[in-house]
Amino acid sequence: MRLIKRFASYYKPHIWLFILDMTCAFFISASDLVFPMVTRNVINNVIPNKEFNLIYRFAILLAIMYFGRMILEYIVGYYGHVLGVNIEYDMRKDAFAHLQKLSMNYYDNTKTGYIMSRVVNDLNEIAEVAHHGPEDLFLSIIRIIGTFILLLTIDVRLTLVVFTIIPFMFIYMYIYNNKFEVIWKNVRETQAQMNATLEESITGIRVVKSFVREKFEKLKFDNKSSMYKSARSKAVKHIGIFDSSVNFLSNISVVITLAAGGYFISKGLINTGDLVAYIIYISQFLQPLTVLLRFVEQYQQGMAGFRRFVELMDTEPEIADKKGAIELKDVKGNIEFDNVTFSYDNKKEVLSGINLKIKHGETVAIVGPSGAGKTTLLSLIPRFYEIDAGSIKIDGIDIRDVKLSSLRENIGIVQQDVFLFSGTIKENISYGKLDASDEEIINAAKAANAHDFIMELKDGYDTYIGERGVKLSGGQKQRISIARMFLKNPPILILDEATSSLDNKSESIIQQSIDNLSKNRTTLIIAHRLGTIRNAKRIIVLTENGIEEEGTHEELMNRKGVYYNLYNYQQENLTIV
């Protein structure tokens, strides 16, 4: 019921369209009730009294009525679908807006294909129900009740006999309705799984090809695809059973009418015209029943999608602005970790009791073995994840007290894997500042040592870079992401192994642009190759035990501790290579 209420709320903005649709639907079903009554009148009165010109008059009136009905049917067919499409659009818009709000945690645990499936397929089904659902339900109920009342006026007893079958039909539909709920849920679920597998195989196509795992991927996909097939087959089978048995029941009601009507005529309780009207009504009755049946099927199909939509909309973003959150303004860039404890799953603590103070304008390098929690530590500053205990402050203000948008506007992150959007180089650089002028973009590119290589490309700044920038080298992508950062111009900069995957030549070019970028900003650098941060004034060594050492390169070497070992290990391995 709550679900239906929620569903109904989507009609609100289109209430007039909905009323128009329903009003037309009402007149369409009312017009169905007219014909048998006219026939009855013709047989009972017109023919015995030989008033044949009345027939022509009836014919003309009926023709006019059907013409009007044609227009109404056009309105229902067209505007009804417009209504459905509008509702689908609204829901999709809401879903996307909500997805933008959800926290990293949600995306860590949800497959992209699942989300695609919800936003694309599920909502598609909903559009159909949104339009046909209320209309079908309304139409068929009007017709069933209308027929019942009209037949009562002819003969109460025969009507009751004929309608005995109706309650059974409704019970049957009700039972099947519940069955369809499970069936369609399964269809939606398997479809989402299939989409997720598809999405993963396509995204990972380079890995697939390089491992020659096409066959393996085919099997994996086929597995999901056949699960979807079975779910659908099951649904179709039950639609078949349902359709045919409801049709059987309604045919039986025609038989009952004929038999009972014959009996009533033989007893002189009704006349021929009445029986003809009964038979026409009852056989017409099949129509609203089939419509109702289609409704039952479609309703569950759509509701399975809607349920999943609601589930998505009800997923609260774990991290959101608190009430009265303030705008973080004029950031200097002092960062303070005070006894910070964090775990991804509330079980295994990745960081515990971290204390760290970084002054504005300072450049701090963070090193340590892989898996120690370096990336995690820095992703807490833009509040991608919520800490379990302690606090993180920027310029003395707890980051939980400020608006997320203002916090993140002030922090720039350059990662090892650069994500670029499909589009041109210019579009990707201006992602850092959407209203940047061409001049600003070029200046940023120059500062990032990217201008020269961009000018060598076929279309310069207007070159298309392919999905995720596949048409660029790793070093080129990184320089674009740095240019983007120059435009964003944040007071706090985080560099997470920005040069780790690059060869020495690219690395030194990028190192130069990074040095430019970090001027006058608080900069935190996670470095894999210790050589690149030798000159840092402050190096922090993070291990599984937390912050183990801190100092300059010389100080740490003299300590002969973790850093010393790490450094020597790398030097040895470098000489081997």
Ligand X SMILES: Nc1ncnc2c1ncn2[C@@H]1O[C@H](COP(=O)(O)OP(=O)(O)O)[C@@H](O)[C@H]1O
CB of 490 to ligand X, least distance (A): 21
Q: Which residues pair with residue 349 across a beta bridge?
A: 343
Is 372 a binding residue for ligand X by CB under 6 A? The answer is yes
- Alpha carbon of 22 to those of 18, 27, 129, 284, 561: distances in Å? 6, 9, 14, 21, 79
Closer CB to ligand X, 127 or 372, in the complex: 372
User: Does 350 interact with ligand X (rule: CB under 6 A)?
Assistant: yes
Contact positions with ligand X (CB under 6 A) in 162-201: none
- Do you know the residue count of the chain? 577
**What is the DSSP secondary-structure string of 427-462?**
HHHGGGSTT--HHHHHHHHHHTT-HHHHHHSTTGGG
In the bound state with ligand X, the residue whose beta carbon lies nearer, of 84 and 373, is 373
> Do 425 and 410 form a contact (C-beta atoms < 8 A)?
no
User: Strand 363-367 vs strand 411-414: parallel, antiparallel, or unpaired?
Assistant: unpaired
CA distance 155 to 158: 6
Q: Residue 542 CB, nearest distance to ligand X (Å)? A: 7
CB of 370 to ligand X, least distance (A): 4
Q: Which of 371, 459, 462, 555 binds ligand X (CB under 6 A)?
A: 371
Burial 353-385 (b: 16+ CB within 10 A, else e): ebebebebebbbbbbbeeebbbbbbbbbbbbbb
Which strands make up the sheet holding 397-398, listed edge to edge?
A: 349-358, 335-343, 389-394, 397-398
- Dihedral sign (CA 559, 561, 562, 566): positive
Q: In Å, what is the CA distance from 43 to each residue of 30, 39, 151, 231? A: 22, 6, 16, 52
Using the minimum distance from each CB to ligand X, give the nearer residue, 376 or 391. 376
Work out whether 545 is an interface residue with ligand X (CB under 6 A). no
The CB-of-377 to ligand X minimum distance in angstroms stands at 7
Using the contact rule CB under 6 A, the part of the chain among 216-224, 254-262, 372-380, 532-540 near ligand X is: 372-380
Helical H segments across 267-342, by residue range: 272-314
The secondary structure of the chain in percent helix, strand, coil, rounded to multiples of 5, reads 70, 10, 20
The verdict on 501 binding ligand X (CB under 6 A) reads no
Q: Considering beta carbons, is residue 45 or 112 the nearer one to ligand X?
A: 112
Residue 374 binds ligand X (CB under 6 A): yes
Tell me how far, at minimum, the Cβ of 236 lies from Mg ion, in Å. 49
Closer by beta carbon to ligand X, 2 or else 347: 347
Q: Near Mg ion by CB under 5 A, which window of 235-243, 277-285, 374-382, 539-547?
A: 374-382
With CB cut-offs between 5 and 8 Å by kind, which of Mg ion, ligand X, none does residue 515 bind?
A: none
- 417 part of the interface to ligand X, by CB under 6 A: no
- Which residue number, 194 or 533, has a Cβ lying nearer to ligand X? 533
Query: CB-wise, 121 or 375, nearer to Mg ion?
Result: 375
Total residues contacting ligand X by CB under 6 A comes to 11
Tokens of 192: 């989402």
Nearer to ligand X, 129 or 527 (CB): 527
* Radius of gyration of the chain from its Cα atoms, rounded to whole angstroms: 35
Instruction: Please report, as residue ranges, which positions from 90 to 129 form the binding site for ligand X (by CB under 6 A).
Output: 108
Looking at 140-148, 257-265, 328-336, 367-375, which segment touches ligand X (CB under 6 A)?
367-375
CA 97 – CA 307 distance, rounded (Å): 18
Contact criterion met (CB below 8 Å) for 448 and 518: no
Note whether 33 and 143 are within 8 A (CB): yes
Residue of 284, 243, 369, 324 whose CA lies nearest to 37: 284
Task: Provide the token pair at 411.
Answer: 């922090």
Site string for ligand X, 434-463 (x = CB under 6 A): ------------------------------
Q: Is 547 helix (H, G, I), strand (E, B) or coil?
A: strand
Q: How far apart are CA 329 and CA 73, in angstroms?
A: 59
Q: Which of 41, 341, 376, 516 binds ligand X (CB under 6 A)?
A: 376
* Binding-site partner at residue 118 among ligand X, Mg ion, none, CB < 5 to 8 Å by type: none
Q: Nearer Cβ to ligand X, position 375 or 489?
A: 375
CB of 132 vs ligand X, minimal distance in Å: 43
How many other CB atoms are there within 10 angstroms of residue 342's CB atom? 21
* Shortest distance, position 105 Cβ to ligand X, whole Å: 8
Question: Residue 126 or residue 494: which is nearer to Mg ion going by CB?
Answer: 494
Phi, psi of 16 (to 5 degrees): -70, -40
Query: Least Å distance between CB 350 and ligand X?
Result: 4
Residue whose CB is less far from Mg ion, 123 or 494: 494
CA distance 26 to 16: 15
User: Which one of Mg ion, ligand X, none interacts with residue 35, CB within 5 to 8 A by kind?
Assistant: none
* Residue 511 vs residues 415, 451, 455, 529: alpha-carbon distances, Å: 14, 16, 21, 12
Distance CA 569, CA 326 (A): 47
108 binds, among Mg ion, ligand X, none (CB under 5 to 8 A by kind): ligand X
Nearest-angstrom CA–CA distance, 205 and 198: 10
DSSP conformation class of 531: G
- In this complex, which beta carbon is closest to ligand X, that of residue 374 or of residue 488? 374
Per CB under 6 A, contacts with ligand X among 288-347 are 344
Looking at residues 300 to 319 of the shown chain, list those that interact with Mg ion (rule: CB under 5 A).
Answer: none
Which option in ligand X, Mg ion, none does residue 567 bind, with CB closer than 5 to 8 A by kind? none
Closer by beta carbon to ligand X, 48 or else 371? 371
Q: Residues 58-97 vs ligand X: string with x where CB under 6 A?
A: ----------------------------------------
Name the minimum Å distance from CB 378 to ligand X: 8
Which of 31, 177, 343, 375 is in the footprint of Mg ion by CB under 5 A? 375
129 vs 539, beta carbon nearer ligand X: 539
Say how far apart CA 251 and CA 260 lie, in whole Å: 14
Binder to ligand X among 134, 273, 373, 490 (CB under 6 A)? 373
- Interacting residues toward ligand X by CB under 6 A: 108, 344, 350, 368, 370-376
Where do contacts with Mg ion occur on this chain (CB under 5 A)? 375
